[in-house]
Structure 1
């Protein structure tokens, strides 16, 4: 099956995510699609295509990690109305100037449901073709697909759903489980959470023999242990369950799943040697801490624009900040790896270098390039610390991360309030340009987002569902 045809198939499948603009699959295309799913490799190609869609700039290759969501979290300097990020930084979700916030939100919605449509295309066909799979591949493909469906719906819920702690029954998003043109209602947020958890629990069961855990070899390269962290693997499913349970105010369950991921022993913290290395050999993404990451196409082109000195002012395109702001975030630390090695001052500007890409990497440090972390093991420590019933254990969990960030341990933490303050500081330092901080502020109901004077109510925390989707509600 040619790459050109597979991409065309994704476009056809994606047409069902918008009821208003559904395109019926023509007989010729249906025949080609049927041929794709006649072989095990066809399902694997279709699954790989979903990761390609997720890695596009509309989603995790840009908007949901390094730019739009982190602009909402006040990560970058955007202080004048001439900034392309002014509307986003001031939560004007109907804005059409600059980056065009209204259209950005609509594109995120549509692109997410396009990916979900392709997942549902696989899930709608895999049962009748179960016999074509060898070894454990049926379980791996179906498990990944269910995990991705839940993962994508969860991030949509975190953006377009209510603040769960205050209004869990408010209408949020549709939960699409079939590839069709039928309108789906906006479900109450708590019902969406149940559907997400159900998909994740099924995925966890199917993926229990995932090579990332067993270390087993497999004939299909993408299922080899070395490549599994670039897929929705068993441990990524468990990490997503930890996120979902915490979001849904189920701390015991969140704690249990975060501890499972930690106890797997499959991830190691970055070393001072790797993070302090020079040039292309510096481990800026803490590669061995990644639970789930996506490889991005042509990433260097726009990350050079976002995190560089090319723009004449901050108000052009660069996504950076001032020394005073960043030093305050990192509490003026001279030893924190994340401040010391992931920021560089140049021509009077402070540049974020997490996504710095080099044309070539020496053979002695030739790890995979163009990656964006989606889930990392440090977050599991934070979730376990926040949800643990034992504050002493919480402090120990936090200190484990701090010891691998060049920092002294926490001392004198004896209250939940003090612990939460320490966790907040870590989220602010740890997930720069990864899109997680806005969700943290929303879950914890910050009345104002640090760096903004806008009151953080539902008008800030709940992105508007595109109008053409509301027609059918």
Structure 2
């Protein structure tokens, strides 16, 4: 089979992995491309399709939030070979031993992440490639909003692929990593060195930042489309989400000054508020389990209850009745036996002697007098931006102040002072472990900081653990 045929075949697979006719959103968007991009609304629908894809189980609706990535970070018990996540937790990336559905097929899961992310990137490229010649169809600032979001999403998806499939940046920045796709093309794309991919990500994000400078999330401007209304901007790749992603990328690339500057920009915006003790302690459906006002970027997940119940409810249905849990002693040690930390007090329940996260508990009661925090997965929260600013702050006094700002909104006493970089890293590690349960960020933190062993694992952590294998057909594609 020649390269061009393989290239065409794989592009079709990637772009149609979860969809028909290239875009997979509402039926009104499942129309031929030449008609889709005739009107401004068509571009908006195409953009919405990327968020729909990102919110599905292969990406942030499941694998990259509550299950697969957090299993890699040793969030859940899985020491027995009968455990469905045994191969995941032990980093057996090249096995698909599913045992008639009783085990997670790791190799297939990794491939589905890769294909789904590149499908989202292909859709972003399709939007971008059609925008210039159709510029006359756009009104107001919508050209900038749509183009800015598409560039931001392209960079965002490439960055998470790099964090999973790329090398350890501190040691192997010039090693081959992933393709950076900017065109809808049948041609094979090379695996680029990681440092080149980072540059392309940053370039896309900086352009997106300029385009989104009048984003309703900061300007308050009205818009004829609900997709661009101020109140719903956190569910899009908005101006602050782009800046927050830049802070993430610069930190990952060991550029602390730039990371600090962008983190401080987001903090200075004041376009967020921390969860209150009242919101988190309220009983029933009004409990703010995902800290909605702290979210800079979040995704709305369709039919979330069905599969969050299967992971975290008392009557799980997936993998022969297995639920994602951990031992009481492990969680108590993690939260340092705190009786005041909101994250421990209000986001866990005990079942059969095990502790289960209730962060994504989807109650069916109707909410009265409160904002219904349903069907949402946080992708970037303001707490992470404070952690980035603290880690990259020019002095330890400011780092302490930044950390204490988050701690004060978690029911904890302030730190009296951080006396060394080592003490700062210890404090930040504790916070990442507590804060991002079922959000998929902890594995990236361990990788970036080169933990020689991930806490809770007996497997030495090196590139075999931290670098997910590129799917075999992609390697053939680039041979």
Give the TM-score of the pair, scaled to structure 2.
Answer: 0.92
Contact 2:11 2:186 in 1 (8 A): no
Q: Report the Cα distance in structure 1 between the residues aligned to 2:182 and 2:408, rounded to whole angstroms.
A: 43
Contact 2:212 2:239 in 1 (8 A): yes
Give, in angstroms, the shift of residue 13 of structure 1: 12
In the other structure, the counterpart of 2:94 is 94
Contact 1:16 1:117 in 2 (8 A): no
In the TM superposition, what whole-angstrom CA distance separates every residue of 1:103-145 from its partner, at most 9, and x where no partner exists?
A: 1001100111011110100000001111111110000000000
Kindly report the root-mean-square deviation, in angstroms, between the aligned alpha carbons of the 2 structures.
Answer: 2.2
Give, in angstroms, the shift of residue 367 of structure 1: 2.8
In the other structure, the counterpart of 1:7 is none
SS in 2 for 1:374: strand
Moved more, 351-360 or 419-428: 351-360
Q: Report the Cα distance in structure 1 between the residues aligned to 2:401 and 2:346, rounded to whole angstroms.
A: 25
State whether structure 2 residue 338 is matched by structure 1 residue 333.
yes
Contact 1:76 1:321 in 2 (8 A): yes
Q: Report the Cα distance in structure 2 between the residues aligned to 1:315 and 1:328, rounded to whole angstroms.
A: 29
In the other structure, the counterpart of 1:319 is 324
Cα 1:31/1:103, change in 2 over 3 Å: closer
Contact 1:18 1:469 in 2 (8 A): no
In the other structure, the counterpart of 1:72 is 72
In the other structure, the counterpart of 1:62 is 62
Cα 1:413/1:136, change in 2 over 3 Å: same
Give, in angstroms, the shift of residue 14 of structure 1: 6.7
Structure 1: 5+ residue stretches without partners: 1-11
The count of corresponding residues between Structure 1 and Structure 2 is 457
Q: Report the Cα distance in structure 1 between the residues aligned to 2:194 and 2:409, rounded to whole angstroms.
A: 37
Moved more, 302-311 or 147-156: 302-311
Q: Report the Cα distance in structure 2 between the residues aligned to 1:308 and 1:228, rounded to whole angstroms.
A: 31
SS in 2 for 1:126: helix
Map 1:266-415 to 2 at 5 A: 266-311=271-316, 316-415=321-420
Q: Report the Cα distance in structure 2 between the residues aligned to 1:255 and 1:338, rounded to whole angstroms.
A: 26
Q: Report the Cα distance in structure 1 between the residues aligned to 2:431 and 2:40, rounded to whole angstroms.
A: 43
In the other structure, the counterpart of 1:218 is 223
In the other structure, the counterpart of 1:81 is 81
In the other structure, the counterpart of 1:200 is 205
Q: Report the Cα distance in structure 2 between the residues aligned to 1:314 and 1:446, rounded to whole angstroms.
A: 31
- Aligned counterpart in structure 2 of residue 439 of structure 1, from 418, 437, 444: 444
Cα 1:31/1:378, change in 2 over 3 Å: closer
Structure 2: 5+ residue stretches without partners: 1-8, 23-28, 98-102
Give, in angstroms, the shift of residue 404 of structure 1: 0.2
SS in 2 for 1:232: coil
Q: Report the Cα distance in structure 1 between the residues aligned to 2:241 and 2:80, rounded to whole angstroms.
A: 40
SS in 2 for 1:291: strand
In the other structure, the counterpart of 1:233 is 238
Q: Report the Cα distance in structure 1 between the residues aligned to 2:55 and 2:105, rounded to whole angstroms.
A: 21
Give, in angstroms, the shift of residue 314 of structure 1: 10
In the other structure, the counterpart of 1:461 is 466
Cα 1:361/1:408, change in 2 over 3 Å: same
Cα 1:92/1:13, change in 2 over 3 Å: closer
SS in 2 for 1:338: helix
SS in 1 for 2:171: coil
Contact 2:21 2:32 in 1 (8 A): no
Deviating beyond 6 angstroms after TM superposition, the runs of 4 or more aligned structure 1 residues are 312-315
Give the TM-score of the pair, scaled to structure 1.
Answer: 0.93
Q: Report the Cα distance in structure 1 between the residues aligned to 2:275 and 2:255, rounded to whole angstroms.
A: 30
In the other structure, the counterpart of 2:3 is none
In the other structure, the counterpart of 2:12 is 15
Moved more, 214-223 or 427-436: 214-223
Q: Report the Cα distance in structure 1 between the residues aligned to 2:319 and 2:303, rounded to whole angstroms.
A: 23
Give, in angstroms, the shift of residue 16 of structure 1: 6.8
